[in-house]
Amino acid sequence: MKKLETIEQLKKSIIELKHENKSIGFVPTMGFLHEGHLSLIKKARENHDIVVLSIFVNPLQFGPNEDFERYPRDIHRDEQLALESGVDVLFAPTLKEMYPHSPSIKMKAISRVDVLCGKKREGHFDGVVTVLTKLFHLVQPDAAYFGQKDAQQVAVVEALVKDLNFPLQIISVPTVREENGLAKSSRNVYLTNSEKQEAPQLYRSLQYGVQAIENGERDPFAIVQMISTYLNEHTSGEVDYIEVYSYPSLEAVNVLQGNIIIAIAVQFQSARLIDNIIIEI
Amino acid sequence: MKKLETIEQLKKSIIELKHENKSIGFVPTMGFLHEGHLSLIKKARENHDIVVLSIFVNPLQFGPNEDFERYPRDIHRDEQLALESGVDVLFAPTLKEMYPHSPSIKMKAISRVDVLCGKKREGHFDGVVTVLTKLFHLVQPDAAYFGQKDAQQVAVVEALVKDLNFPLQIISVPTVREENGLAKSSRNVYLTNSEKQEAPQLYRSLQYGVQAIENGERDPFAIVQMISTYLNEHTSGEVDYIEVYSYPSLEAVNVLQGNIIIAIAVQFQSARLIDNIIIEI
């Protein structure tokens, strides 16, 4: 595995790989790798000659009151995991390397962003599309891999690629969960012991909603109500949102049909957890 | 020469060319080709295996009161000229092909834009960077060619490519002029006969400014004054701007040194002409 820290080094590698007509799978991450990331790497490993993993905690996608500074980092462990999971190129640039000067171009995500996590995280997806545009240009992958756990991110990135005709595919990979159902997340480390006991209830509340739909419920509001009651009864966390939309357009619907996402966010003491489920009705 | 009108056709061609490791030179235009464009094609022809020319009158870069509707078009003549000048792939998409739905992502050029033509053409360069981002992704060129006549465009596109790490080079080609000095432009067809007589004075006024600098003048304001007087005496057009900046940063300077652009715009009855000169002091 090559570990590269500068854009110059990466460019050289990519030019060589392109010249040899290697197919490149790309997994962009903010590091602190967990099994969710590893499942993306595994999928990319299956589909491509070369797997490029990037690790970059992107300040642009954090709000002023968010956890950029304390976002968990462990590059040595990440490096080991990347090596073990068959990554060919690990790109871990510095902040200065990615943003050497104030920007000349601003990118703004204007659809699929005013719902779910985007509603409270103003500018978050602007930061996501900006850093991904840069990384896509640097890595020139055939496909980029994202976890379905960040379903809104997948939807926004799909719109980015389609809108601006990026020559690559977006592949979303199912959420990896603990045995108890808790979605893997770098932010799970923030949970207190008692919160760790409750956190699996997020996924159970989603399954509870799906079961109601399978039993014939077609009113999105009823689903929201059921999940809300369930979460309030089963967790100490504060429900941030429970939303039901068409997917991937993330538009409100009156009647549940087609591809539907149920997505939730719960604020615990030191961690805000999200989860979602997508079903075809 | 292949003439392609759909993105699907273009994608297929580009994948093949990339697979064969062909070097691609790209000349993006709005059509109504003149010798300026042909000089870009010629330069690309010298440097690459394959030359791709695009013809697309991009509505995003026209303001509401600008000449999008009446912008001159002649695709048959363009096709002939492209063929004769050795273009391999002519990409001439429809509006629907380039903008099939309302955008999900907005791009905004925020530096180098509030001067020269950008000052009065609000949003113009946002439209330029958006369409170029799409075209760069579709064509995946090794280099893209632009005329130095649109010096601000060159500066903004250089910033775009650098800021977002596009994997391509921007090459600017000197302005092609009539024998009398008038810069070639698609908009020259709008000139009345008497305006045609006066139009060469634009370039002469720039040369007059350069001469003063060569004679030792280092005050940008003095240069502006001289050119202003010259233009008012020699043309019936209304001077829109005369500006002197560092290049390519397009920043105001107190003393002329380094790379300097002198740029002017003159509004005639039905055409607004621009010209510029870049000198190293």
**Residue in A19, A103, A110 nearest the CB of B106:** A110
pLDDT at A67: 85
Chain A residue numbers touching B108 (CB-CB < 8 A): 105-108
Q: Comparing C-alpha atoms, which of B68, B166, B168 is closest to residue B124?
A: B68
Cβ pairs bridging A and B (under 8 Å): 86
Q: What is the pLDDT of residue B186?
A: 86
Please name the residue that has the structure tokens 């063929």.
B83
Asked if B138 and A167 come within 8 Å (Cβ–Cβ), the reply is yes
Residues in chain B: 281
Per-residue model confidence (pLDDT) at position B62? 94
Q: Counting Cβ atoms within 10 Å, is residue A27 exposed (0-12), middle (13-18) or buried (19+)? A: buried
Question: Mean pLDDT score of chain A, rounded to an integer?
Answer: 96
Residue B164: closest C-alpha in chain A: A134
Note whether ipTM > 0.90 here: yes
Percent of chain B surpassing pLDDT 90: 93
How confident is the model at residue A241, as a pLDDT? Answer: 96
Q: Residue B155: which residues within 8 A CB-CB, separation 6 or more?
A: B112, B247, B248, B249, B250
User: Which contiguous run of DSSP H or E holds residue B40?
Assistant: helix B35-47
B105 closest CB neighbour out of A104, A134, A159: A159
The answer on whether A176 is annotated among ligand-binding residues is yes
Taking residues B271-278, what's their average pLDDT? 95
Where chain A has pLDDT below 50, the residues are: none
Q: What is the pLDDT of residue A120?
A: 86
Q: State which fold the B2-173 domain adopts.
A: Rossmann fold (3.40.50)
Q: Do A104 and B109 touch (CB under 8 A)?
A: yes
Q: Choose the closest CB to A104 out of B19, B112, B140.
A: B112
Q: What is the pLDDT of residue B205?
A: 98
Q: Which residues of A touch B (CB under 8 A)?
A: 7, 11, 14, 18-19, 21, 102-112, 129-130, 133-134, 137-138, 140, 156, 159-160, 162-167
The tokens describing A114, both together, are 């005013």
What pLDDT, in 10s, does the model give residues B111-139?
999 999 888 899 999 999 999 999 999 99
> Does A103 sit within 8 Å of B110, measured CB to CB?
yes
| Separation CA A206–CA A264 (nearest Å) | 8
B234-265 pLDDT tens trace: 999 999 999 999 999 999 999 999 999 999 99
User: Domain map of chain B by residue range?
Assistant: 2-173, 186-280
Distance separating alpha carbons of residues B244 and B156, to the nearest angstrom: 17
Tell me the pLDDT band of B25, cut-offs 50, 70 and 90. Answer: very high
- pLDDT digit string, tens, across residues B142-157: 999 999 999 999 999 9
Sheet holding B50-55, edge to edge: B2-4, B89-91, B50-55, B24-29, B143-147, B169-173
In this predicted structure, what is the pLDDT of residue A171?
98
**Is 90 exceeded by the pLDDT of residue B95?**
yes
Pairing mode, strands B143-147 and B169-173: parallel
**String of DSSP letters for B78-108:** HHHHHHHTT-SEEE---HHHH-SS--SEEEE
**Architecture field, domain A186-280:** 2-Layer Sandwich (3.30)
Nearest Cα residue to A243 out of A259, A229, A232, A227? A227
